[in-house]
A and B are shown apart, each in its own frame.
Chain A
Amino acid sequence: KNEVEQSPQNLTAQEGEFITINCSYSVGISALHWLQQHPGGGIVSLFMLSSGKKKHGRLIATINIQEKHSSLHITASHPRDSAVYICAVSMEYGNKLVFGAGTILRVKS
């Protein structure tokens, strides 16, 4: 079993829809990261959080430490949100990241 599991693997949405991507982990962590990878391959860090909730524009990330679960929400989705969204955790000891396999999101206009 992978230490970081994401669901769904693939997601197709219509423009304007509310989107949720889930991430569960099984190890002790110091922080959880949400990353975005566009078709060209470059990766951008969206959020780093260790508790509660963070918001940036139309993106919201939440984490429940007790349940070892995080969600990434996109409100009013747009075709430019189409990308791979990756969940990663910083291990409790050390500086390493462990990555989920990613969720491929396609938003249709």
Chain B
Amino acid sequence: DGGITQSPKYLFRKEGQNVTLSCEQNLNHDAMYWYRQDPGQGLRLIYYSQIVNDFQKGDIAEGYSVSREKKESFPLTVTSAQKNPTAFYLCASSFLGTRQFFGPGTRLTVL
């Protein structure tokens, strides 16, 4: 059953904590992306990776970190440096230059 999965679906974080959001795909896609969605705004790109062991900052990378050690996995860490982390986070993957497939999302809330 091919697809892209994210976990957890809901995540609560205390201020000052780092948390890691998981994203896994079994579509053999080369590229993976992390987006943030806030109410009333379009999705914004946090980080993307076009190949294993390489990734680039998107438009709002400050306070986030990623790794791409395996083709199928692209975890996102929300660090304590991210001042306003409460948001809906979406992961996507694609072959280069083709449509992106999105995961179900993780809703992060800072308590």
The chain A residues found within 8 Å of chain B, CB to CB, are 2, 4, 30, 33, 35, 40-45, 48, 86, 88, 90, 95-102
Contact partners of A97 in chain B: CB under 8 A: 33, 43, 45, 100
Contact between B102 and A95, CB atoms less than 8 A apart = no
Contact of B96 with A by CB under 8 A: yes
Query: How many pairs, one residue from A and one from B, have CB atoms within 8 Å of each other in the complex?
Result: 54
Contact between B97 and A41, CB atoms less than 8 A apart = no
Chain A interface SS verdict (over half): strand
Contact between B45 and A40, CB atoms less than 8 A apart = no
Contact with A along B79-111 (1 / 0, CB 8 A): 000000000101010101111111111010000
Contact between A30 and B99, CB atoms less than 8 A apart = no
Docked complex Cα distance between A101 and B40 (Å): 6
Contact with A along B59-94 (1 / 0, CB 8 A): 000000000000000000000000000001010101
Contact between B42 and A96, CB atoms less than 8 A apart = no
Name the residue in A43, A99, A102 with the highest tally of chain B Cβ atoms < 10 Å from its Cβ. A43
Known pairs A95-B96, A96-B45, A97-B45. 9 more at Cβ < 8 A? A41-B88, A42-B102, A45-B99, A95-B48, A95-B94, A96-B48, A97-B33, A101-B40, A101-B41
Contact partners of B20 in chain A: CB under 8 A: none
Q: Which residue of chain A is the closest to B33 with respect to CB atoms?
A: A97
